[in-house]
Amino acid sequence: MDIFRLKKTASGEIKRAQDLKALNTLYKKYLGKKGEVTQVLRSLKNLPAKKRQLLGKKANEVKNSLTILFDKKARQLKQKAVKEMEEKEWIDVTAPGKKPIVGHLHPLTQVKRKTEEIFQQMGFSVVEGPEIETEWYNFDALNIPKEHPARDMWDTFYLKNGRLLRTHTSPVQIRYMEKNQPPLRIIVPGRIFRHEATDASHEINFYQVEGLMVDKNVSASNFKAIIEEFFKRFFGKPVQIRLRPSFFPFTEPSFEIDISCLVCGGKGCSTCSRTGWVEIMGAGMVHPAVFKAVGLNPKNWQGFAFGIGMDRLAMMKYKINDIRLFYNGDLRFLQQF
Ligand code: FA5
């Protein structure tokens, strides 16, 4: 090929090279050991002197200008590659970080902690007990003997080994008084189980907070004052409560405490079974038989005990109309707390 046409073709190809690899291939093609320009230079020795001088000069000029072109293009391509890499790996160090999704405390845990805080401020200690109980602690020691119909008040899950899933937190009253002498003030938050049909206000697994205060002179009016103070601090405002006479084998007298339904404002809704009131706790003065079961003389001691349904407390605080929402793990519900 004519050396000038060769130069033109090579220059065009060099200009169009997209990357260093392609440029390298072109270098080999024209200026490599067997490259086309190299071949021309090698063939010079076979030419007559005059022609050799003429073509030799031209071929060397072409070689030099192609070499310059290659160098220039290589520099450009290197710069381009660095720029592309910088663009790809660019990090904006001033951009705000991506926040990891963090969880938060379940509403029932928040209620439990708030309850503990309030009672601790009133001088109560927080105590725990086992979820798997013996019949003795769950029933007998609480004045509910084996064949007594009062056992039917709690539908119980019995285990094959003769134990049971505790149906209330009251057995911890016994466990604590066996080991600790009065005067005493405790609360016992914990999970309990009942073999019940579920509905908007009943679960088979839920939480209670037991309370127990024993001293020489403790009366039902002390109980009322303490529980009213608790509700006031818990809800951040006074709430309407009512005490109804009731029956528990381990208290005498016994009462049930309702609060005016905060979901509907007392008008009546599915949460309060259309009554305007929600039963929130059972309570009463500790029965002499309970003191006897733990070796205390009922003539020397008086006390009150109560069991609050923690789920119902949470329902009233957050105006939740179905207890089952606490346990179904739906994030759309949980993220609201
Ligand atoms: C008791 O469990 C007694 N141990 C309470 C007690 C303690 C009385 C100390 C006297 C002295 P009761 O079964 O009523 O009582 O339950 C207490 C509270 O638990 C109820 O007022 C209610 O708020 C809640 N509760 C009862 N059953 C359910 C249920 N299935 N689902 C959700 N909460 C419930």
Q: What is the pLDDT of residue 287?
A: 98
Do 217 and 128 reside in the same domain of the chain? Answer: yes
Most informative mutation of 153, 206, 207, 259 for ligand 1 (most atoms within 8 A of CB): 206
Domain with residue 145: its CATH number is 3.30.930.10
Is residue 99 one of the residues assigned to a domain? no
Of ligand 1's atoms, which has the minimum distance to the CA of residue 306?
9
Helix (H, G, I), strand (E, B) or coil at 135: helix
Taking the C-alpha atoms of residue 245 and residue 256, their distance in angstroms, rounded to an integer, is 6
Please choose, from the candidates 30, 45, 37, 307, the residue with its C-alpha nearest in 3D space to the C-alpha of residue 172: 307
Measured in Å, residue 192 CA sits from the centre of ligand 1 at: 10
Is the residue at 219 inside a domain? yes
Query: What is the predicted pLDDT for the residue at 147?
Result: 83
Strand bridging mode 184-193 / 125-126: parallel
Phi, psi of 202 (to 5 degrees): -130, 130
**pTM reported for the whole predicted model:** 0.74
Token pair, residue 124, equals 């109560």
- Do residues 174 and 266 both lie within one domain? yes
DSSP state of 324: G
Q: How many residues does the chain have?
A: 337
Tell me if 277 sits within 8 A of 242, measured CB to CB.
yes
Residues 174 and 235 in one domain: yes
Q: Which ligand 1 atom lies nearest to the CA of residue 170?
A: 4
Whole domain around residue 10: which residue ranges? Answer: 3-89
Tell whether 36 and 117 lie within a shared domain. Answer: no
DSSP 157-197: -B-TTS-EE-SSSTHHHHHHHHH-PSSEEEEEEEEEE----
Cα 78 to middle of ligand 1, angstroms: 78
Residues 172 and 294: their CA atoms lie apart, in Å, by 12
Domain for residue 94, yes or no?
no
- Evaluate whether 77 touches 17 at the Cβ level (below 8 Å): yes
Establish if 210 belongs to a structural domain: yes
Helix H or strand E segment including 56? helix 49-88
* Same domain? 130 vs 244: yes
Per-residue pLDDT at 1: 63
Q: Are residues 146 and 254 in the same domain?
A: yes
Residue 260 lies in a domain: yes
Secondary structure (DSSP) of 193-259? E-----BTTB-SEEEEEEEEEEESS--HHHHHHHHHHHHHHHHSS---EEEEEEEETTEEEEEEEEE
pLDDT given at position 217: 95
Q: Which amino acids bring their CB within 6 angstroms of ligand 1? A: 168, 170, 194, 196, 202-203, 206, 208, 210, 248, 251, 254, 279-284, 305-307, 309, 311-312, 323
Does a structural domain hold residue 162? yes
- Does 156 lie in the same domain as 17? no
**Quick one: 144 and 80 in the same domain?**
no
- Residue 184 pLDDT: 97
Residue nearest (by alpha carbon) to ligand 1 atom 32: 202
Closest CA to 157 of 192, 198, 203, 206: 192
Asked if 196 and 114 sit in the same domain, the reply is yes
Cα–Cα distance measured from residue 168 to residue 108, given in angstroms and rounded to the nearest whole number? 17
- Residues 156 and 186 sit within 8 Å (Cβ to Cβ): no
Rounded distance, CA 211 to CA 165, Å? 20
Structural domain count, the chain? 2
For ligand 1, the distance from its centroid to the CA atom of residue 213, given in whole angstroms, is 18
In sequence order, the β-bridge partners of residue 277 are 260
Query: pLDDT of the chain along its 337 residues, tens only?
Result: 688 888 999 999 999 999 999 999 999 999 999 999 998 888 888 888 888 888 889 989 999 999 999 999 999 999 999 998 988 888 888 989 888 888 899 999 999 999 999 999 999 999 999 999 999 999 999 999 988 877 777 889 999 999 999 999 999 999 999 999 999 999 999 999 999 999 988 999 999 999 999 999 999 999 999 999 999 999 998 888 999 999 999 999 999 999 998 888 889 988 888 999 999 999 999 999 999 999 999 999 999 999 999 999 999 999 998 999 999 999 999 999 9
Q: Give the model's pLDDT for residue 195.
A: 92
Residue type for 104, please? H
CA distance 248 to 168: 12
Regarding whether 114 and 60 lie in a shared domain, the answer is: no
Q: From the CA of 169, how far away is ligand 1's center (Å)?
A: 9
Q: Are 252 and 183 in the same domain? A: yes
Asked, for residue 158, whether it belongs to a domain, the answer is yes
* CA dist., res. 303 & res. 215, Å (int): 6
Do 145 and 206 sit in the same domain of this protein? yes
